[in-house]
A = this chain, B = another copy of it.
Amino acid sequence: MLQRNESNLQRFLDRLTSRSVLSAMEQQAILNLPTYAAHARAGEDFVHLGERVTHVCFVVDGLVGRFDQNAHGARQITALHIPGEMPDLHSVVQPTATSALHALSPATILRVPHEAVRAVAAAHPAIAEALWRDCMVDSMILAQWVVNVGCRDAKTRIAHLICEMACRYNAKRLSSRIVFNLPMTQLHLAEATGLTAVHVNRMLGELRSHGVEFRRGTVYISEWDRLVRAGDFDPDYLQADVRPEERIRILQAG
């Protein structure tokens, strides 16, 4: 079912324009991209390892993970993607999937043909620039994940991940209290942090005394500052909150 569904892609456009400058015409070109709706059940792979992909995926709803694995079948989540993001935008320039895409929760996906994305990128180089920049934000997050699994202990890793997701969901602070939905299991947390599910469980127990609670897909934070300290978290790498005057445009206005 092909549809031109502006209201959905609006969230992706918002994401792009939060860091890049696009003219009205360029913005409209994004919103006019053709999309194919698809649904993924929780636990379903919807892009497979090694596949030559022909569409990029846009997450409308649910939580999506990029999964890799080692020779013994141990899985590692290398990225999480929330609604409004494109988990495999990189496939536009690099179509062979080196990771699988997997729905951690029931997810609604829009598929956008590479051809269409390439056409708008070709017609509007500033869009190519914005897409490139969007990919680089994912890349900065990836670098932080290397730091997280490479040189932080278990409790800190989990706290860091929770901080990151709180920021990315743009969870609002009500008198230092934060509550948001994070549809993952403890096993998922383990696969994202390079730990075992058992140890994650123990650490979540300890984190409760630091003012965080994770229960059945919901995070309850009672003291943000304490969590930030426990998670050794510095949000700079997320490149959120770029002020309008700081947004960059390399290419001439269209």
Contact = CB atoms under 8 A, between A and B. Distances in A.
A194 interface: yes
Among A121, A128, A133, A136, find the residue whose CB has the most chain B CB atoms closer than 10 A. Answer: A136
A74 B150 CA distance: 10
Contacts of A194: 149-151
Given A93-B136, A129-B93, A138-B139, A78 B147 contact: yes
Given A76-B150, A250-B93, A142 B142 contact: yes
A151 B78 CA distance: 11
Contacts of A139: 90, 135, 138-139, 142
Contacts of A138: 139
Interface string A121-156: 110010011011101111110111111011110001
A149 B78 CA distance: 11
A244 interface: no
Nearest to A115: B250
A232 B71 CA distance: 6
Interface residues of A, number: 55
Interface in A60-106: 66, 68-71, 74-76, 78-79, 90, 92-96, 98-99
Contacts of A99: 143
Interface string A237-254: 101000000001011100
A132 to B, nearest CB: 4
Please name the 10 residue pairs, one residue from A and one from B, whose CB atoms are nearest each other, closest first.
Answer: A150-B194, A132-B132, A118-B250, A125-B125, A71-B232, A93-B133, A74-B151, A139-B139, A78-B143, A76-B150
15 contacts: A50-B236, A76-B147, A76-B151, A78-B146, A90-B139, A93-B248, A94-B133, A96-B236, A98-B140, A99-B143, A122-B251, A128-B128, A128-B129, A146-B149, A149-B150
Interface of A: 50, 66, 68-71, 74-76, 78-79, 90, 92-96, 98-99, 118, 121-122, 125, 128-129, 131-133, 135-140, 142-147, 149-152, 156, 193-194, 232, 236-237, 239, 248, 250-252
Given A135-B136, A138-B139, 5 more contacts: A76-B150, A93-B248, A96-B239, A118-B250, A146-B146
